[in-house]
Amino acid sequence: MSIEPTPEQIQRLASSQDGQPVVMLNLVRFKERADGIDAADGITGAEAYARYGAAVVSHLERVGGRVLMALSAQECVIGPYEGEWDMVLLAEYPSRQAFLEMTTDAGYLDIHQHRAAALADSRLIACAVFSG
């Protein structure tokens, strides 16, 4: 289960600043029932993630980021038959520094609690335009 980056992963991301836009590929699997900040409300992980999604937009915009696409994963065509992921999301940032600025902001960290309450597992992959 991977919900948060390790300190080493953050350090690697911070040290690889190239000033170019970065697209973060988010793969997420929701908890059946949200816990943490959303436990008392008796909602699903997907509902807790929707709370996070609604609140994160202003933080994205503040650093020049945006959601490119949010998709519901339906079935695996190559790989394990059982669906590993519930949602695939692409978010674009003007730079890795902009991403780090957003994710270390105190206001963002408050709403990030909904993400943590929602997710059973996740992957976050920094992507750039493929140049062959």
Task: Report the alpha-carbon distance of residue 132 to residue 128 in Å, rounded.
Answer: 11
pLDDT tens digits along 87-103: 999 999 999 999 999 99
Q: In sequence order, what are the residues at sequence separation of 6 or more whose Cβ sits closer than 8 angstroms to the Cβ of residue 63?
A: 93, 94, 98, 99, 101, 102
Tell me: pLDDT of 83 over 80. Answer: no
**pLDDT value for 6:** 87
Cα 101 from chain centre = 15
Q: Which CATH class is domain 7-127?
A: alpha beta
Ordered by start, the domain boundaries in the chain are: 7-127
Tell me: pLDDT of 59 over 80. Answer: yes
Please give the average per-residue pLDDT across 114-122, as a whole number.
97
**pLDDT value for 130:** 81
Q: Which tokens is 117 given? A: 């309450």
Q: What is the pTM of this model?
A: 0.90
% of the chain beyond a pLDDT of 90: 75
pLDDT tens digits along 8-25: 998 988 888 778 999 999
Rounded (5°) CA angle 84-89-91: 145
